[in-house]
Structure 1
Amino acid sequence: MLYREEKLYTMMRILLFLATNLAVLLIASITLSLLGFNGFMAANGVDLDLQQLLVFCAVFGFAGSLFSLFISKWMAKMSTGTEVISQPRTRHEQWLLQTVEELAREAGIKMPEVGIFPAYEANAFATGWNRNDALVAVSQGLLERFSPDEVRAVLAHEIGHVANGDMVTLALIQGVVNTFVMFFARIFGNFVDKVIFKNEEGRGIAFYVATIFAELILGILASMIVMWFSRRREYRADDAGARLAGTRSMIAALQRLQAEQGVPVHMPDSLTAFGINAAKKTTFAGLFMSHPPLEDRIEALRQRG
């Protein structure tokens, strides 16, 4: 049953991807006309105005990633059911606020919002459009099962993400990747339409089909690049967590997460890269993992001393 649900979920994501690209193409055509960039593609022949095409792709490529960045806190609260602690009601919430405040001060950033989201699995995430306007949240399960030192290490890891500016960095990388995916997909679409199908009367259906197909393939390859950067960034956050909370506590927290790897991780896709824990993947799927294997992260901390 779980396999069937996962397969259905994957199909839905692919369909959503295709629908999104169709919408982007429609909006792109309208925007090109309004902004005067409709000259990037010659009506006849195979020539492209690559400069205008690159500008157009950059606008759309960065617009999506930066928009997601600016609404990231709101989306995180909505998608995870995170309840922000404005006034602590228990001594545990008071301790949580005090710990985050202390870690933020040591890391040289402003106090982020602190929240708890209702999930059994042990996880946490940080998000926000800049290092001085962030949200750090932990799951109820993590608070219930982890020791105070382990929770503090997890919080230090997330504060490390914020202090390192990882949310902004990943959004910029995604913007660059989006730009070149759109750029090369449209070059490929134009080639198929003009050279293979010999269409000399504007853009034909072959252009749209070939462009969507190329965006799908290039988008998958681009995801591998983004996830590689995400895994590198995870080691830096672990290192920051070790500096703020102690190497032993950081290792202990990761070992505790490792012991709970049989527990399914349910985290919205938009937040997976900023959680401390991620679902275990097969070797091939590891290319699309936002996190390195926990054993590799633990070994890196041990070598750090």
Structure 2
Amino acid sequence: MRILLFLLTNAAVLLLISIVFHVLGLGDFLHQRGVPLSLDQLLISSAVIGMSGSFISLMMSKWMAKQSMGVHVIEQPGNATEQWLVDTIARQARRLNIGMPEVGVFDSPDPNAFATGMSRNASLVAVSTGLLQRMNADEVEAVLGHEMSHVANGDMVTMGLLQGVVNTFVYFFASIAGYLVDRVLLRSGDDERGYGYGPGYYITQMVAQVLLSILATMIVMWFSRRREFRADAGGAELAGRGKMIDALRALQRAHEPADLPGELAAFGINGGISSGFQRLFLSHPPLEERIAALQNGR
């Protein structure tokens, strides 16, 4: 249902943009300047290109996480720690009324954890060996609650679809920029009808995609930071506010280890240190802000 609603919203936005462009006469403006470009077709193709990559990544997320992080999935608990992990996550899954996730452990000295998966009923929650070694049971329980809140909130799907939406508009506007530079400024074309693409199109589109992707990343990371506050609140509800605060303080004592690789960074418990302009690209808010939010009841 979440995917369907998001796709319908995206389709509505695309339709609205198409109507606005027609009202403003942008299509006629382009054609008068020798740019044989159908904005409707470009919108549709951009959506296919932008969303398909996100859907593929979402479908492969668990497999990619297991391979890239070397996650050992606990099929049958081999010791007391693994049994406690499975039991704790099972208890939290029942409270949240979601399917039991796969539970795994990956080898890393940094205390961290992440959740991923195609849906809230087919997810993976994994913790690092460093987390188990450097935190007590109450703190680990809070971390698990944080990750399970990500699962219950559908954050993996939401973030994947959001990335697909911004990818759609990055490609769409980068293509328009390429057409304008190639046909209006450089007046190039490969054939007598002017339907070919000159080098100006490809160069401009690539440059525009890079610049627009930077802006898109800031938007996605802003949304990711907001989701972290919500997941902290969820972890506090599942394990207790004091335990969640203690867990975040334990991460502070660990000197805020680096982000997890790639898309997993948005679903970990921790994030790297950054300030100034770099702050716009953080997937997680600073730990002191997260602790303050919990202390203030947010």
Q: TM-score, normalised by structure 1?
A: 0.84
- Residue 215 (structure 1) aligned with residue 209 (structure 2): yes
Taking the aligned partners of 2:220 and 2:36, their CA distance within structure 1 comes to 31
Matches within 5 A, 1:70-219: 70-200=59-189, 201=194, 202-219=196-213
- Is the partner of 1:284 in helix, strand or coil? helix
Residues in 1 aligned to 2:296 and 2:96: alpha-carbon distance in whole angstroms: 23
1:287 paired residue number: 280
> 1:129-174 CA distances to partner (integer Å, 9 max, x unpaired)?
0000000000001101101000000000000000000000001110
SS of aligned partner of 1:129: strand
Query: Is the 1:80–1:267 Cα contact (8 Å) retained in structure 2?
Result: no
Flag structure 2 segments of 5+ consecutive residues without an equivalent.
Answer: 1-29
Q: CA deviation at 1:266?
A: 5.6
Deviation of 1:282 after TM superposition, in Å, equals: 2.3
Contact 1:261 1:279 in 2 (8 A): no
1:234, distance to aligned residue in structure 2 (A): 0.5
- For 1:292 and 1:119, how far apart are their aligned partners in 2? 22
Once residues 296 and 90 of structure 1 are traced to their aligned partners in structure 2, the CA distance between those partners, rounded to angstroms, is 36
Please, which of 250, 254, 270 is the counterpart of residue 256 of structure 1? Answer: 250
Letter in 2 for 1:121: D
Question: Cα deviations across residues 15-36 of structure 1 (Å, max 9, x unaligned)?
Answer: xxxxxxxxxxxxxxxxxxxxxx
Q: Which residue of 2 aligns with 1:244?
A: 238
Query: Are 2:259 and 2:270, in contact at CA under 8 Å, matched by a contact in 1?
Result: no
Among 292, 298, 302, which residue is 2:291 paired with? 298
Deviation at 1:103, TM superposition (A): 0.7
Provide the rounded CA distance (Å) in 2 between the counterparts of 1:144 and 1:257: 12
Contact 1:277 1:291 in 2 (8 A): yes
Aligned equivalents of 1:266, 1:62: Cα separation in 2: 25
In structure 1, C-alpha distance between the alignment counterparts of 2:242 and 2:109, rounded to whole Å:
25
The equivalent of 1:54 in structure 2 is 43
Question: CA offsets, 1:216-263, max 9 Å, x none?
Answer: 00001100000000001101100110110000000000011011126x
**SS of corresponding position for 2:268:** coil
Percent identical:
55
- Matched pairs, number: 263
What's the CA shift for 1:280?
0.6
Picking from 210, 222, 226, the partner of 2:220 is: 226
- Name the CA distance, whole Å, in 1 between partners of 2:119 and 2:87: 21
Q: Secondary structure at the match of 2:110?
A: coil
SS at match of 1:194: helix
Which of 274, 277, 283 is matched with 2:270 structurally? 277
Letter paired with 1:271: L
Query: 2:93–2:148: 8 Å Cα contact kept in structure 1?
Result: yes
Aligned partner letter, 2:223: F
Give 2:58's aligned residue: 69
Q: Is the 8 A contact 2:177 2:208 kept in 1?
A: yes
The normalised TM-score by structure 2 is 0.86
2:20 — aligned with what?
none
Give the structure 2 partner of residue 25 of structure 1: none
Over aligned residues, Cα RMSD in angstroms? 1.4
1:257-279 CA-to-partner distances (Å, cap 9, x unmatched) read 011126x4262112000000111
Between the aligned partners of 2:267 and 2:282, the Cα distance in structure 1 is: 12
Unaligned runs of 5+ in 1: 1-40
**In the alignment, residue 64 of structure 2 is paired with which amino acid?**
M
| Alignment-mate amino acid for residue 108 of structure 2 | A
Would the aligned equivalents of 1:151 and 1:253 in 2 still touch at CA under 8 Å?
Answer: yes
Q: What one-letter code is carried by the residue in structure 2 that aligns with 1:68? A: S
